[in-house]
């Protein structure tokens, strides 16, 4: 059975090479990056990394100078690559009263959703809303 994917929230220094160091450390540790997004907020790099082995990923990231500030279960759903697909999906979830705390693409047709109530989010998303590996 495949591992449940986990979303790690990380902070990095905003300087050249920090993303490269983190990605290299994950690779050396044998951790595959299933999805990633990052941005700068208040002078520091903030990101989300989707991984199958969060303990190994945490150790690798911290050894590369990243600070892991959060870990959560997420839904990884297939989504159509067409205008309106994400809006339709997230509207269903919002109408069920679920607030999302993370949304990013892992691939062109795989979306990562974080929420406090994943089961309610999964139910609202409907058919095909199983976590993917």
Domain extent at residue 94: 75-125
Q: Are residues 40 and 88 in the same domain?
A: no
Q: Which letter, b or e, does each residue of 97-126 get, where b requires 16 or more Cβ atoms within 10 Å of its Cβ?
A: ebeeebbbebeeebbbbbbeebeebbebbe
pLDDT at 95 over 90: yes
Q: Are residues 44 and 19 in the same domain?
A: yes
Greater confidence (90 vs 130) lies with: 90
Last residue of one domain, picked from the residues 28, 53, 71: 71
Q: Are residues 27 and 67 in the same domain?
A: yes
Q: Which of 97, 106, 54 is nearest to 77 (CA)?
A: 106
* Residue whose structure tokens are 């208040």: 42
Q: Are residues 62 and 83 in the same domain?
A: no
Query: For residue 103, what are its two tokens?
Result: 């949304």
CATH of residue 49: 3.30.2130.10
What pLDDT was estimated at residue 119? Answer: 94
The Cα–Cα gap between 122 and 118 comes to: 6
Residue 32 resides in a domain: yes
What pLDDT was estimated at residue 1? Answer: 28
The Cα–Cα gap between 49 and 113 comes to: 12
What pLDDT was estimated at residue 26? Answer: 98
Angle (deg, nearest 10), helices 85-95 and 118-125: 120
Q: How confident is the model at residue 126 (pLDDT cuts 50, 70, 90)?
A: confident
Q: SS3 for 117?
A: coil
The Cα–Cα gap between 74 and 112 comes to: 7
Last residue of one domain, picked from the residues 25, 46, 71: 71
- pLDDT, one tens digit per residue, over 24-41 is 999 999 999 999 999 999
Question: Can you spell out the DSSP letters for 26-75?
Answer: HHHTT----EEEEEEETTEEEEEEEES-HHHHHHHHHHTT-EEEEEEE-E
């Amino acid at each position: 059975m495949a591992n449940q994917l986990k979303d790690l929230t990380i902070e990095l220094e905003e300087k050249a090479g920090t993303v490269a160091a983190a990605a290299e450390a994950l690779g050396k540790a044998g951790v595959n990056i299933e999805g990633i997004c990052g941005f700068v907020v208040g002078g520091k790099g903030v990101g989300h990394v989707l991984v199958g082995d969060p303990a190994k990923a945490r150790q690798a990231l911290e050894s590369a100078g990243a600070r892991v500030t959060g870990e959560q279960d997420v839904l990884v759903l297939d989504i159509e690559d067409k205008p309106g697909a994400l809006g339709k999906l997230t509207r269903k979830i919002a109408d069920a009263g679920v607030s999302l705390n993370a949304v990013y693409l892992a691939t062109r047709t795989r979306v990562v959703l974080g929420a406090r109530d994943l089961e309610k989010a999964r139910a609202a998303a409907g058919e095909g809303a199983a976590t993917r590996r």
